Amino acid sequence: MKKYDVIIIGGGPSGIITGVTAKKQNPEKSFLLIKEEEKGLVPCGIPYIFHDLEDVSKNAMGPKPFVDTGGEVLVDRVNNVNFDTKILATDSGQEFSYDKLVFATGSTPTIPKFIKGYDLEGVETVKKSYNYIDQLMKKTDSAKNIVVIGAGFIGVEIAEQLAKHDNKTVSLIEMEKHCLFRAFSVDFASKADVEVKEVGVNLYTETKVEEILGSDGKVSGVKLSNGKRIDADIVISSIGYNPRTKLAKKAGLEINSRGMIRVDNYQRTGKKDVYAVGDCSQTIGFITGRTDGIMLASTATAEARVLGYNLFNIKLLRNFTGTLSVFSTEINKKAFASTGAIEQVAIEANIDYVIGQFKDVDRHPATIADTYPLEVKLVANPENGEVIGCELFGGKGVGEMINIVSLAIQKHVTIYEFISFQFGTHPLLTTAPTKYVLVKAAEMAIAQIKKRN
Amino acid sequence: MKKYDVIIIGGGPSGIITGVTAKKQNPEKSFLLIKEEEKGLVPCGIPYIFHDLEDVSKNAMGPKPFVDTGGEVLVDRVNNVNFDTKILATDSGQEFSYDKLVFATGSTPTIPKFIKGYDLEGVETVKKSYNYIDQLMKKTDSAKNIVVIGAGFIGVEIAEQLAKHDNKTVSLIEMEKHCLFRAFSVDFASKADVEVKEVGVNLYTETKVEEILGSDGKVSGVKLSNGKRIDADIVISSIGYNPRTKLAKKAGLEINSRGMIRVDNYQRTGKKDVYAVGDCSQTIGFITGRTDGIMLASTATAEARVLGYNLFNIKLLRNFTGTLSVFSTEINKKAFASTGAIEQVAIEANIDYVIGQFKDVDRHPATIADTYPLEVKLVANPENGEVIGCELFGGKGVGEMINIVSLAIQKHVTIYEFISFQFGTHPLLTTAPTKYVLVKAAEMAIAQIKKRN
C-alpha cells in the first residue's frame, strides 16, 4: 500500500490551490490529489461556454500547476476513509495511507425534486463536470426553446449567454421579485432585470415553476404559478448547490446545519490531521458572524492558501477570519458587484446600518468615449463608521473596484477614513478625482449618521 | 468692504473641493472663491483635448458644485493679502475681508529657460488654462511637425494623442533612459516606450534638446544632444510644473525647499486662519517621510476634503498622514499604474525592500474575448512585510486595481495578510481566483524574504 504525506480529495480550485501552496511550502513531502474526472472546468467560466467561449475545451482547468510542483494526480473515486488507520479506499480497489487528509469535495447542483416532472429527460442542472457540460452544450445547441429555473448568478449568466444565439427563445423563471436578489438590493437588482430583458431573455419574476411538463418521459414545457405554459426542449435548473459531504459524513466528520463540514479558522476538522476546504467546508460570515453557506471559488482559494501555508504547522496567522463573499457579474455589458452586508443582509441579520449612495460615470470628463454610468451604494455601521457592505453598478472597472471595498471591510476601514483616502484617477480609466464615487458615498453615509444623531 | 467667513484663492480641483466640502459642513458661513479665468479645465483631461475629446469645451470644469452649495465666485486676481488686517486686494481694485483664507493657487508649467531658443514663438507649455489650451489646440491642428520635450505623464499623453492624427510627425524627447521613469521601473517603463512608439511617436530617450532652432523669431526645429536636427512647427515643453506661491510668499507664508507652502497635516500654514491646499502646498511622502513635490489632482482633492471638514474645528482626524501618489495612464490602449515606493524610489530613499512579481491575464479563462496581459510588481518591507509600492501593467481594470494597493499601503497591509485576502473575481471582469495577481505577487515576495533569511 502506497503512503503519502498528504492526500487531497477533489480537483477543483480549492483542492488544486491547497496542493500547490502546501507542496511549495513543503517540497520534501509527498502529495497525491484524487479527482473523479480526468478533465476539470473553471467553475465560474461555465456559463460562458454556452456562447462566448463556444466550446467546453476553452474553459478547461486541470491540476497542471500542482503537478508542476511535483504533486501526483490519480483519477479515481474515494469511497471510504478510516481516520483511525489513516487509510482510504477507492473505486478502482486501491488503498492509500496518508499523514494529512484534505477534503476538497466541492458541491453538486440541487435537484429540484419538489417540482413535479423534475426527473423527465431534458431536465438538466449546471453540474461542474467537463463531460456533463460538454453534453449539455450540445443539447442546447439543437434546442429552440429553453427554460432556466432560478435567477441567481449562474441562472442569469446562462440565460444571457443562451439568449445571444439568434435561434433560441430563452425564459428565466425566478420566484423572488428580482434577479440576483441575494446579492443586490431592489434598486440594483431591478437594473439587472432590465439588462436581462434587454439581451432578449423572457424574464418571469415572482413566479414559480409549478410543474415540468413532458410526454413520453421527455420534457416539453413548464407550467408556471401564473397559469402560463411555456414550451421547452430543455429545462435547466440552477436553484443552488449542495456541499458534497457524503464521504466525510460516512467517515465521521461533523457536519453543520448547512450540510457543510465543520472547520476552524485553519480549515481543521474535529479529527486530527483531517482538513476541509472550499464549497464542502463551513463558512462563518465575516460581518454577520453566523454560519453562512457561501460557495465561491474566490473564498475557496483564500481558504486553500491559508490551509496550504499551515498544513504542517501554523506559520502564517489567518488575518481575515470569517468569510466575506464578493460577487461580480456582467449582464449585457453592464457590470454588477457586491460584497458584505448589503441592505437586506443587514436587515435580516439585525445589523444597524446607514447607506451612502452616489452616482457618476466611470471616466472623466464624461465626454470620454467609452464612458459607463457608475453607481455605488455603501453600507456602514452608524456606531463607528466601519464599512460593512457595498453594491456597485457600471462598466468593467467595477470588477476590481469592489475589491477596494472588500479590502476595506476586511481591514475594518471606516467611512471617516475614506475622506482622506488617496486614490489614483485617470480620464481614460476611472471616475474624476473630485468625485471619486467611493469617497463621495462615504461622505453621504457620514451625512446620514449626522442626521440620525 | 465685503466680508466673507471663508475666501478661497484658486478654482482648480483643490479650491472647488475645499469649498464644496467646507460649505456643506458649515452652511451658515459665507464663502467666496476667487479665480483668475472664467472657464476652467479638468487638469488630467488636458492631453485628451488634442485628439479623443476633439474640443476644449468637452474638458471644461467649473465651480458649479460649489455654487450649488451656496458659495459665491468672483473672476479676478488677488494681488495682495494682509494677514494682520485679514484683508485682500484684487486686480479689479476690490478689497475683501475674510475670517479664514485658503490658498489653492495651483501650479504653472516650468519654462525651459535653460534651453537656448525657449522664448521663440511656437514654443509652448501645457498651461492649465482654458483659453491657452484652446489656442494651443488650434495651433497643433495646423502643425505638421511637433516636438514634445519631456516624457513624463503629460508629455507622453499629449504625444500619443497628437500622433493619432494621420497628418502629423510627433517626436518626444526624454533625457532619461525611458518614458515615465519617475513612476515606473525599467521593465515597466520600457513597455511604455514600446507603446509610445507603436502609436507612431518618434521617441528619443537618453537625449537632450540642446537648442530650439528658429528663424524670424519663430520656432523651426530642435537640435538634439545626439547631433540630430528635427523640424518643428511647434515645440511643446512638458518638463514639469512649479507651485504658484508668489502671492503666498509676498504675504509672508513659509515656503519649503520645493517652493511649496509649508502646511501641517490639516493644511494649516504657520499663520493663524490661513490654509494651503493642492499643488501649491507641501507634501510629505507617505512611505519616504521626506518633503516631496507631488502635484496630483487625486491627492489634492484628498487634502481638500480633510481641510473642508476641519476648516472651523478639527472634527475628522486625518487618518492617512503623508502623501501617497497614485499614478495611472493609458498608452495605445495599454494601462500603466503605480503607487508608493517603487523600486527606484526605495533605492533612492534608502528603504530596504523585496519584490514580488507575477504575470497573468486580466480575464479567466484566458480564452475570453477582450483579454489583456496583466503584470504586477509589488514592493514590500522585508522586516514586517508591509506593502510599500506597486506597479501594474494591463487593461483598463488596472485603473481601479492600483487603488486596492493604495488602500493597502495606507492601511499598512502586509503581504502575509494578502494570503488570506478575500477578493471577487469574474470571468469577464478579472483575473482567475486561483491566481489573483496581487495575492500571487504577495506569495512571491514572501518567498523572496525567506530566501534572504
In a domain, A323, yes or no: no
pLDDT digits 0-9 by tens, B120-150: 999 999 999 999 999 999 999 999 999 999 9
Residue A326 lies in a domain: no
- In A, residues 316-335, which contact B (CB 8 Å cutoff)? 316-320, 323-330, 335
Q: What percent of chain B has pLDDT over 70?
A: 100
Q: Given the C-alpha cell 482567475, which residue does it identify?
A: B432
Residue A235 and residue A121 in one domain: yes
Has residue A325 been placed in a domain? no
Selected residues 2-31 of chain B with any CB under 8 Å from a CB in chain A? 13, 16-17, 21, 24
Q: Which of A287, A306, A404 is nearest to B403 (CA)?
A: A404
In sign, the C-alpha dihedral spanning B271, B274, B280, B285 is positive
Grid cell listed for A287: 460581518
> Residues A215, A104: one domain?
no
Query: Is residue A270 within 8 angstroms of chain B, CB to CB?
Result: no
Q: CB atoms < 10 A from the CB of B248, how many?
A: 25
CA distance B412 to chain A (A): 10
Contacts of B443 in chain A (CB under 8 A): 21, 305
Residues of A in contact with B402 (CB under 8 A): 424
Q: What tens digit of pLDDT does each residue of B350-359 get?
A: 999 999 999 9
Same domain, A234 and A119: yes
* Contact assessment for residue A122 and residue A110, using Cβ atoms and an 8 Å cutoff: no
Residue A284, chain B, CB below 8 Å: the answer is no
Q: Is residue A33 part of a domain?
A: yes
Q: Are A218 and A173 in the same domain?
A: yes
**Residues of chain B found within 8 Å of residue A421, distances taken between Cβ atoms:** 302, 320, 406-407, 410
- Domain end, chosen from A193, A217, A239, is at A239
Tell me, yes or no, if A62 comes closer than 8 A to chain B by beta carbon. Answer: no
* B424/A367 touch (CB, cutoff 8 Å), yes or no: no
Q: Which residues of A touch B53 (CB under 8 A)?
A: 365, 367-368
Answer whether A314 touches B (CB < 8 Å): no
A410 closest CB neighbour out of B398, B422, B433: B422
Strand bridging mode A145-149 / A326-331: unpaired
Question: What rounded mean pLDDT belongs to chain B?
Answer: 97
Terminal C-alpha separation, chain A: 70
Q: Could B45 and A327 be called an inter-chain contact, meaning their C-beta atoms sit closer than 8 Å?
A: no
pLDDT one digit per residue (tens) for chain A, 453 residues = 999 999 999 999 999 999 999 999 999 999 999 999 999 999 999 999 999 999 999 999 999 999 999 999 999 999 999 999 999 999 999 999 999 999 999 999 999 999 999 999 999 999 999 999 999 999 999 999 999 999 999 999 999 999 999 999 999 999 999 999 999 999 999 999 999 999 999 999 999 999 999 999 999 999 999 999 999 999 999 999 999 999 999 999 999 999 999 999 999 999 999 999 999 999 999 999 999 999 999 999 999 999 999 999 999 998 888 999 999 999 999 999 999 999 999 999 999 999 999 999 999 999 998 999 999 999 999 999 999 999 999 999 999 999 999 999 999 999 999 999 999 999 999 999 999 999 999 999 999 999 987
The residue of B323, B363, B426, B435 whose CB has the most chain A CBs within 10 angstroms, and thus the best one to mutate to test that interface, is: B426
For cell 470588477, what's the residue? A399
Residue A101 domain boundaries = 2-108+242-310
Q: Are residues A250 and A130 in the same domain?
A: no
**Per-residue pLDDT tens digits for B214-247:** 999 999 999 999 999 999 999 999 999 999 999 9
d(CA A110, CA B216): 83
Alpha-carbon gap, residue A434 to B13, rounded angstroms: 6
The answer to whether residues B246 and B101 belong to one domain is yes
Nearest to A328 among B339, B422, B424 (CB): B424
Please report where in the chains the cell 491559508 appears, as a residue: A306
Q: Are residues B22 and B45 in the same domain?
A: yes
Q: Which of A407, A413, A440, A450 to mutate to test the interface with B (most CBs of B within 10 A)?
A: A407
Is A253 domain-assigned? yes
Residues B347 and B359: their CA atoms lie apart, in Å, by: 24
State the average pLDDT over residues B327-331.
98
Asked if A425's CB is within 8 angstroms of B44's CB, the reply is: yes
**Residues B396 and B287 placed together within one structural domain of the fold:** no
Nearest to A422 among B324, B397, B425 (CB): B324
Residue that terminates a domain, selected from A310, A343, A359: A310
Quick check: bond before A47 cis, omega within 30?
A: no
Q: Measured between CA atoms, how close is A261 to chain B, in angstroms? A: 20
CB contact under 8 A, A328 and B416: no
Sheet with B209-215: strands ordered across: B209-215, B218-224, B229-231
Contact A49, A133 (CB under 8 A): yes
The rounded distance, in Å, linking the Cα atoms of A385 and A356 is 11
Q: What is the pLDDT of residues B162-210, one digit of tens each?
A: 999 999 999 999 999 999 999 999 999 999 999 999 999 999 999 999 9
User: Is A428 in the B-facing interface, judged by CB distances under 8 Å?
Assistant: yes
Which of B65, B316, B406 is facing A422, going by the closest CB pair? Answer: B406
Cβ of residue B369 closer than 8 Å to a chain A Cβ: yes
B413: nearest CB among A52, A305, A411: A411
B153 touches B296 (CB < 8 A): no
Closest by Cβ to B416, choosing from A319, A401, A447: A319
For B30-42, give one letter per residue: b (16+ CB within 10 A) or e.
bbbbbbbeebbbb
Residue A434 lies inside a defined structural domain of this protein: yes
Q: What's the pLDDT score for residue A45?
A: 96
The pLDDT assigned to A320 comes to 86
Note whether B397 contacts A: Cβ–Cβ < 8 A. Answer: yes
Q: Which of B316, B400, B425 sits opposite A297 (nearest CB)?
A: B425
The predicted pLDDT at position A2 comes to 97
Q: Which residues of A touch B128 (CB under 8 A)?
A: none
> CB contacts < 8 Å between A and B, how many?
274
Q: What is the pTM of this model?
A: 0.97
Cβ proximity of B85 and B96 under 8 Å: no
Judge whether B52 is closer than 8 Å to chain A, CB to CB.
yes
Residues of chain A contacting residue B316, judged by C-beta atoms under 8 Å apart: 416, 419
pLDDT value, residue B321: 87
B92 φ/ψ angles, rounded to the nearest 5 degrees: -80, 0
- B404 within some domain: yes
The domain boundary, picked from B239, B260, B289, lies at: B239
Q: Residue B55 above 90 pLDDT?
A: yes
What is the C-alpha to C-alpha distance for residues A40 and B301, in angstroms, rounded to an integer?
48
User: Facing residues of A116 across strands?
Assistant: A211
Distances (CA, A) of B149 to B108, B224, B232, B238: 16, 11, 12, 6
Q: Residue A274 pairs with which residues in a beta bridge? A: A101
Shortest Cα–Cα distance, A71 to chain B (Å) = 17
If asked whether residues A375 and A411 sit together in one domain, one would say yes
CATH number for the domain spanning A172: value is 3.50.50.60
Does the beta-carbon distance from A399 to B430 stay under 8 Å?
Answer: yes
Task: State the pLDDT confidence band at B250, using cuts at 50, 70 and 90.
Answer: very high
B333 torsion bin: left (phi>0), alpha (psi -120 to 50), beta (else):
left
Residues A137 and A56 occupy one common structural domain: no
Report the domain count for chain A.
3
Q: Check A426 against B329: CB less than 8 A apart.
A: yes
Question: Distance between CA B402 and CA B214 in Å, rounded?
Answer: 44
Query: Which of B60, B330, B429 lies nearest to residue A429, judging by beta carbons?
Result: B330
Q: What element of type H or E holds B65?
A: helix B64-68
Cβ contact B368–A429 (<8 Å): no
Task: Give the whole-angstrom CA distance, residue A449 versus residue A223.
Answer: 48
Is the residue at A392 inside a domain?
yes
- The Cα-based distances of A288 to A285, A292, B447 in angstroms read 5, 9, 34
Same domain flag for B253 and B219: no
Q: Are residues B388 and B415 in the same domain?
A: yes
User: b vs e for A63-82, b when ≥16 Cβ sit within 10 Å of the residue's Cβ?
Assistant: bebbbeeebbbbebebeebe
Q: What is the CA A71 to chain-centroid distance, rounded?
A: 27
- Which residue in the block uniquely carries the three cell numbers 483616502? A421
Per-residue burial over B206-229, b if 16 or more Cβ lie within 10 Å, else e, is: ebbbbbbbbeeeebbbbbbeeeee
Q: Tell me if chain A has a CB within 8 Å of the CB of B158.
A: no
The cell numbers describing A167, all together, are: 435561434
Which chain A residues are within 8 Å of B329, Cβ to Cβ?
426, 428-429
Cell readout for A241 is: 448547490
Task: Give how far B295 is from chain A: nearest CA, Å.
Answer: 12
What CATH number has the domain bearing residue A393?
A: 3.30.390.30
**Alpha helices (H) in B164-296, listed in sequence order:** 186-198, 246-251
Nearest CA in chain B to A14: B434
Q: What is the pLDDT of residue A243?
A: 98
For residue B55, give Cα distances in angstroms to A367, B58, B157: 10, 6, 16
- As given in the structure block, the three cell numbers for residue A22 are 502546501
Nearest CB among B306, B326, B447 relative to A423 is that of: B326
Q: Is B245 on the interface with A (CB under 8 A)?
A: no
DSSP three-state, residue B15? helix
CB contact under 8 A, B302 and A337: no
Burial A404-438 (b: 16+ CB within 10 A, else e): bbbbbbbbebbbbbbbbbbbbbbbbbbbbbbbbbb
Q: What Cα–Cα distance (Å) separates residue B2 from each residue in B7, B51, B387, B445?
A: 11, 44, 51, 60
Residues of chain A contacting residue B445, judged by C-beta atoms under 8 Å apart? none
> If contacts are CB pairs under 8 Å, which of residues 199-238 in chain B contact chain A?
none
Q: How far is B232 from chain A (nearest CA, A)?
A: 28
Distance from CA of A310 to the nearest CA of B (A): 11
